[in-house]
Amino acid sequence: MKKNSKDEQTFMRIDHEYWTLTSWAKGWANVILNPISRVLKRVGVQPNLLSMFGLFFALAAGAAVARGYIFQGGWLFLLSGPFDALDGALARTAGRESQFGAFLDSFIDRYSEAAVLFGILCWSTFNGHHILILLTFLTLVGSLMVSYARARAEGLGLPCEVGLFTRLERFIVLTIVLLTEQLLVGLIILSFLTNFTAFQRMFHVYRQSFRQ
């Protein structure tokens, strides 16, 4: 039996060093998504169209939150989630995976999350909630830095999918925050854990750079 090389062993050890909800979810998500994606394939739905529907619901959620309809915005943001999950599954099932599709998926994810946070920022500004403005800004910075840390690391050839608060965790917490209308508590959690994850990834890249 072929033995793994030293680099492969290092990568496997690093890759499993941190558990994330996202990595766990990927293990069983296909059981649910694959049957749905096969149906969508027969109907002729395009993966990128699903991505755009997800963005539409996220933008609508941001607009609703900005106008003070926070609970309704939570439901709209929740509806964007299945489209975000299905676009990749459909691309794999239909054999339509492409570099642009992967780029578009990540591109839209950033705008979807930013749309809702911008809605909170607008509502907080209009109603004079200065602490919420600060927390929303910190959450937005942390969220972008989590994504940037991974993109920059992978651009250097270093895997960086680790982290306590990845995309799925942020989506779940932000949805709960809106549905419960507990913006202050939720944004405290989000602002801290997003930035914590960004630094967690920085430390992860630091450790990898000395292992090579």
pLDDT digit string, tens, across residues 36-88: 777 777 777 777 788 888 999 999 999 999 999 999 999 999 999 888 877 77
Q: pLDDT digit string (tens) for 153-208?
A: 988 888 888 888 888 889 999 999 999 999 999 999 999 999 999 999 999 999 88
pTM over 0.85: no
As a residue count, the chain comes to 212
The DSSP output letter for 164 is S
User: Which residues fall within 8 angstroms of residue 145, CB to CB, at 6 or more apart?
Assistant: 194, 195, 198
Within 13 Å and on the Cβ side, how many CA atoms surround 58?
A: 24
Question: What span, in angstroms and rounded, lies between the C-alpha atoms of 75 and 16?
Answer: 34
What backbone torsions phi and psi does residue 109 show, to the nearest 5 degrees? Answer: -55, -45
Predicted pLDDT at 24: 57
- The three-point CA angle 166-10-97 to 5° equals 50
- Structural domains in the chain? 19-211 (1.20.120.1760)
Task: Report yes or no: 162 and 200 within 8 Å, Cβ to Cβ.
Answer: yes
